[in-house]
Amino acid sequence: MSKSSKKKQPKAAPVEESTEVAQPGQDESVGKVAYKPKTPEERKKAHVEGIIKTAVAAMLGIVAGILATMVYDAGTDTRWYAVLIIVAGFAYYIQRIIFPLIKIDTKEFGFKDWFYVEFIVIDFCLVTWTLLLN
């Protein structure tokens, strides 16, 4: 047998058994997360909602960048990071008002979702402000 035909088989990771014991009257799947696959309609709805969330956040960021240019101009007399904190705070509360109006449930938002939309707002604000300064 040649060396090329001998391929090393990767070692399988040892399977660890759960040390948790189900109590009487408790479900047997202690500590397991059940994954429920989404239907095509649910996937499409989630995709459309994601696009809408991104578009709303982008528009808020563009408006914030235009306002920052009008109010602070080059921002040489103010702290730029303070402006971004103010923008993020206002954008959060504005989105809490806008999203229910367009049928997006903010109660389902987790930290990751809010972080994402706030990052988009800040990013678009900085890009717009920079482009208007040049």
Express each pLDDT in 16-58 by its tens digit. 554 555 555 555 555 566 777 888 888 898 899 889 999 999 9
Judge whether residue 64 has pLDDT over 60.
yes
- Assess contact for 62 and 122: CB atoms under 8 A: no
Nearest to 83 by CA among 94, 73, 97: 73
Which one of 29-33, 105-109, 123-127 scores highest in mean pLDDT?
123-127
Average pLDDT over all residues of the chain = 80
- Assess contact for 87 and 117: CB atoms under 8 A: no
pTM, 2 dp: 0.67
For the chain, which residues make up each domain, given as ranges?
Answer: 54-133
Judge whether residue 94 has pLDDT over 90.
yes
More reliable by pLDDT, 8 or 126? 126
